[in-house]
Chain A
């Protein structure tokens, strides 16, 4: 039955589609294949989510080899949630992509873009479904390598140095990760996450495991771009093609956070994490990320770079939620994982549309765009409001949970910091709004047209999601709370 193989198909579909694009390098064909693959992934992901909801976690043994010899996939509520998020966002971005890619990537290389995109997707989905720590590394490398190449496709020559910078940092991160996995293997003799979780407690006190944990946190921190490991991110997001920025911002860092959650809560377990000095350092880094990221974003002249710094801040929010180690905090963190993906993809895509029309995303070049591209800029404003955390947008819901978590733990200064950082977000979004809506002569730039429908529809799909999930919060909160409870060791 093909249905029982659905967990592996989640990875295989994009993996098989990728080489097709190299063999038949026709732009339209590649796009169709890629879209078909991502939509199939989305369907599989949704099926998995529904199955996990109904029947609990799914385990799947590759080639019928049982763990610890074979590679096991294990899909629980959190993995399912991630696969839905990743495949949903990547589908929407693909719908948006043809014109943007046509403008930003030369015809000769367009098919390579789709190949890399699919490979990246394979890696990200693989990370989410695998139950094996080493296999996770393999998928991590697949997604990382393809993202370096994707960033390097940017028009600006600085994209090359940005990609190289990311390559160095990302490789260090991945190497740290594999060193840690090696150390854990040496102590326990297994790579399977479930087995690791069982055997680690015996050796938890050893120095080797502590060292492994340190390597893990720093290594994954590099991939997450957690302050102060964020150095690669601003350049990478700024110089990558618009759709790549949107894709990476919405999915890659989120999946890295997923790895952190897995390692902390599924491998080490909530009790061990609470006993070890992990939460406080993470919280402090998160607070720095939130405030410094937002503050630096205010001073950017390039709107994409502004969003990049804002991403660093938003990652801080997610990590902050995790560092509370409480159900409310973790729910807030996981919600923000999802919500931030919605906001940032909507925002980066609207900038993609702006770039498509005016060939620049310098804030000063956006004067009067509120009049010329009303729908695009309105989407930007809604996405920005969501970023600030205005009620009736998704941003409000996750911030609500984060602040509640802070107050429940009695850490009111953190609540103040979360709000202060929202204010900073208000300022950097307002800078764009003020220039786009209140500057520029009414007659200036009369030849600038609104973005084409093929761009507006995906943008507004994501923007609408920002509002929809901000009002109709039942499903997302239930899923996030279930995942948080599961991670903290409660019943599923």
Chain B
């Protein structure tokens, strides 16, 4: 039989590898969005036009909200490292709430785009692309919220410190990634109008 120490070691290796899986997912997701932004660049270069819109102001607010949520998540991770689970939970809930607010703001952004006539089904593919990238980004937010929930669940169930930190870590990797991803997409769309 394998000794307990060895088993413990194998669990740690397992957690480390799973964390690595999240990193790899970040890479492949980046490439998917890279595919769309490359499409956009080539489209713009060959047609001589971009989306040509003034992006709704509400996207500024949503960007701010998302940044704030990342700060909260950072504080949650720090609280966990300090062994303060109730503080971790508080900040995780903040992250979760801000994530929801971000989603609501994105919907508002789309509806104001829609009202100006810049609709999804458009003969300017660049405008359709604004919806595609922001829509798929929002899907990532939904997945991110699931990560936050799993961290929260771990915190309430009082899982071991190692497992709790593992859950917190992969939540952080993923959430900060989608934060940076949105900033990239937003700046990209602002610069290439």
- Please determine whether chains A and B interact with each other in the same assembly: no
Task: Give A residues with C-beta under 8 Å from B.
Answer: none
Task: Give B residues with C-beta under 8 Å from A.
Answer: none
